[in-house]
Structure 1
Amino acid sequence: MSALPPFALGRRRLLAGALGAAILPVLTRRADAAAPISGVRPADWYRTRFGEFEITVVGDGDLDLGEPAAGFPGHPRDDLTQLLRANFRSTEKLVLPQNCFVVNTGRQMVLFDTGVGYTRPFGPHTGMLLANLRAAGIMPEQIDAVVCSHGHIDHVWGIIGGDGKPNFPNAQVFISKADFDFWTDEARGRTDGWVGVFVQGARRNLLPVRERLTFVEDGKEVVPGVIAVSSPGHTVGHTAYVVQSGNAKAMFIGDLAHHEVIMLRRPQIEFAYDTDPRQSAQSRLRLLRMLAQERIGVMSYHFAFPGLGHVAAEGEGFGWYPLPWGVNL
């Protein structure tokens, strides 16, 4: 094709200039238009396919744990600061999302962990599970099974509502016997500090459903498609769960790792709220290696919403690769 003659180029430039001059005032007026800032946080829920199953991630709100160093008192502060800054995270406070997972197997609706519940001890922007479930089109009465990773405040305190009745009236509740016994021990509930508070809350949420509670066992099926994996240390009976549908395989890791930067890059770090910090680190390292080697998907309770992705061995630790938005796990 021959080159355009100079007068054609000149005409194009003239037309483009005229068109731009006509559009520019319109664009400017739109940019200057006043619009109020809503300040309203949208409902936290996300849905994806998983083999023949469907996974809906439902947020319960963010936990503000304050200064990062307080969560890891035995670790050098400078290293924490460097890790967080290098990954564009706040060095002033540690914020942990709460990602509750609803797995629809086609036969059952299975909810993994329940958030902090109606007491909202971490502020008004927590305890949002029920509202976000409804926003996602899931009614609490539809939940057939509540599967608990452990008995801490942000995992089982959403079982019972403020009226003293179960939030999920048709659900069987699953937890390890070791954790149930530990966190409902009345004598331990009389102790001072956070342990006593956690026990009192666990008793308030677990004892009323004792008749519909089933204890999980390592390697055994909880419900079809869900298998318990013992991972003690964070609590005496902390349990992760493998979810499998056909060739699709993922693990709900509970509190195996609380933060995708700190606890993956430093997998042997000890967390302030661990019952046995060294055992917790051993469980974390063992399962993270398995997840990376076998390329198993991750359903994380505390990683950035929606907490879906993969881990890969990198250097002394692991890297986090979140699932791209709209891609099935």
Structure 2
Amino acid sequence: MTTQLSRRSLLALGAGLGASIGASTMLGSTALAKAPKLNTQTPYWHRFVVGDAEVTVVSDGPLPLGDPSGTFTGVPKEEVKKMLVDNFMNPDSVVLEQNSPVVNIGDKLVLFDTGMGTSKMFGPTTGQQQKNLAASGINASDIDAVVCTHAHIDHIGGLVGADDKPLFPNAQVYISQADYDFWIDEGKLGSPLKDFVLHARKNLLPVKDRLVFVKDGQEFLPGIQALAAPGHTVGHTIFMVTSKGKSFAFLGDLTHHSVLLMEKPRMEFSYDTDPKQSAATRVRLLDMLAANKIPVMAYHFAWPGYGHVAKAGEGFRYYPEPMNMQL
């Protein structure tokens, strides 16, 4: 039987509901006290499983870049703003995340990238990695390896603390030699790269005796392979993590933005050492990942940064993986 509601019956229904709500409010006002705001958020860590490996994502906190027109270049700024608006993002201020995976791959506990550490170069919201590691139940002293995609401050800034002592006292540190040599070079202290060089020297030199240099294509830890991805920096490297036939790629800074540098992957990014090489590398590696349907984890995408890449016209589209709350 089909029930048809006339305008008159809808009005009558609304009046009846209003009367019943009003009566219940008068009768039970003392029982309906307003709950206080909690002012808390969900934890800034998340776990998932890849093969036999357990992956814990920990955040170093949001990293605000501000007006996109000075950072994302090679495309008219009006077009950049439209892309953001069309994707329900703020067209006037870009905020990146900092997502570090900690991979328990059996006999090794491996952290990828370390956040900003004590530096407030990008404001007060960064520097949360140590707190979130502890909240997730991981002790910094249990980390066996810290793997760095490159030597920019937001990736190596948490290697040492305010006292210049290593924050991961039992870990070897893995990075490409090209990036290490480039960013600790004192000769660049008189250049626009000065702040990045100072931070690289502060964080890398205290762990120099425990550095291991990775090479393109090398499986330097069980199930972890380095893939050269130059352009963002001279030695920028992404990493393939494989366990029991399942893999994901940790992208580091292959692409900073899930819309701008995906839909238009040849757009340039102002923090790239060689923007054109970076764009060519981005297209080549995203093509490979999309063709092989390899899941990705991006350091700067919206929390927790884990999902999939697919071809979309001349560019790509990122599909976030739903967070599975049961391991």
Q: TM-score, normalised by structure 2?
A: 0.90
Alignment of 1:89-168 (within 5 A): 89-168=89-168
Q: Does 1:25 align with 2:29?
A: no
278, 281, 284: which one pairs with 1:283?
A: 281
Displacement of 1:35 in angstroms is 2.9
Q: Does 1:46 align with 2:36?
A: no
Deviations 1:110-143 (A, max 9, x none): 0000000012322222100000000000010010
Letter of the aligned partner of 1:25 in structure 2?
S
Contact 2:307-2:320 at 8 Å conserved across structures = yes
Gaps of 5+ in 2: 1-15
Whole-Å separation in 2 of the counterparts to 1:52 and 1:274: 35
Deviations 1:6-29 (A, max 9, x none): xxxxxxxxxxx99x9599837985
Contact 1:50-1:328 at 8 Å conserved across structures = no
Whole-Å separation in 2 of the counterparts to 1:87 and 1:97: 17
| Percent of aligned pairs sharing the same letter | 50
Q: Does 1:79 align with 2:76?
A: no
Whole-Å separation in 2 of the counterparts to 1:196 and 1:38: 43
Contact 1:49-1:328 at 8 Å conserved across structures = no
Q: TM-score, normalised by structure 1?
A: 0.89
Q: Secondary structure at the match of 2:204?
A: helix
Whole-Å separation in 1 of the counterparts to 2:154 and 2:32: 44
Whole-Å separation in 2 of the counterparts to 1:328 and 1:279: 41
Whole-Å separation in 1 of the counterparts to 2:46 and 2:91: 28
Letter of the aligned partner of 2:315 in structure 1?
G
Alignment of 1:1-329 (within 5 A): 25=24, 33-191=33-191, 193=192, 195-326=193-324
Cα 1:30–1:187 change in 2 (3 A) is: farther
Whole-Å separation in 2 of the counterparts to 1:266 and 1:104: 35
Whole-Å separation in 2 of the counterparts to 1:148 and 1:280: 18
Q: Secondary structure at the match of 2:225?
A: strand
RMSD (Å) for aligned C-alpha atoms: 2.4
Q: Secondary structure at the match of 1:288?
A: helix
Contact 1:64-1:95 at 8 Å conserved across structures = yes
Whole-Å separation in 1 of the counterparts to 2:225 and 2:32: 56
Contact 2:249-2:294 at 8 Å conserved across structures = yes
Contact 1:113-1:146 at 8 Å conserved across structures = yes
Contact 2:55-2:101 at 8 Å conserved across structures = yes
Structure 1 window deviating more from structure 2 (119-128 vs 149-158): it is 119-128
Contact 1:69-1:75 at 8 Å conserved across structures = no
Whole-Å separation in 1 of the counterparts to 2:283 and 2:222: 27
Letter of the aligned partner of 1:303 in structure 2?
F
Displacement of 1:33 in angstroms is 3.1
Displacement of 1:32 in angstroms is 5.7
Displacement of 1:40 in angstroms is 3.7
Displacement of 1:190 in angstroms is 3.0
Contact 2:153-2:200 at 8 Å conserved across structures = yes
Deviations 1:43-80 (A, max 9, x none): 31000111000000000011111101111233211111
Gaps of 5+ in 1: 1-16
Cα 1:280–1:92 change in 2 (3 A) is: same
Contact 1:113-1:147 at 8 Å conserved across structures = yes
Aligned residues: 311
Whole-Å separation in 2 of the counterparts to 1:124 and 1:155: 16
Find the counterpart in structure 2 of residue 6 from structure 1. none
Whole-Å separation in 1 of the counterparts to 2:65 and 2:79: 18
Contact 1:66-1:94 at 8 Å conserved across structures = yes
Whole-Å separation in 2 of the counterparts to 1:307 and 1:31: 43
Structure 1 window deviating more from structure 2 (319-328 vs 123-132): it is 319-328
Displacement of 1:34 in angstroms is 2.3
Deviations 1:202-237 (A, max 9, x none): 000001101100000000012101000000000000
Whole-Å separation in 1 of the counterparts to 2:76 and 2:109: 43
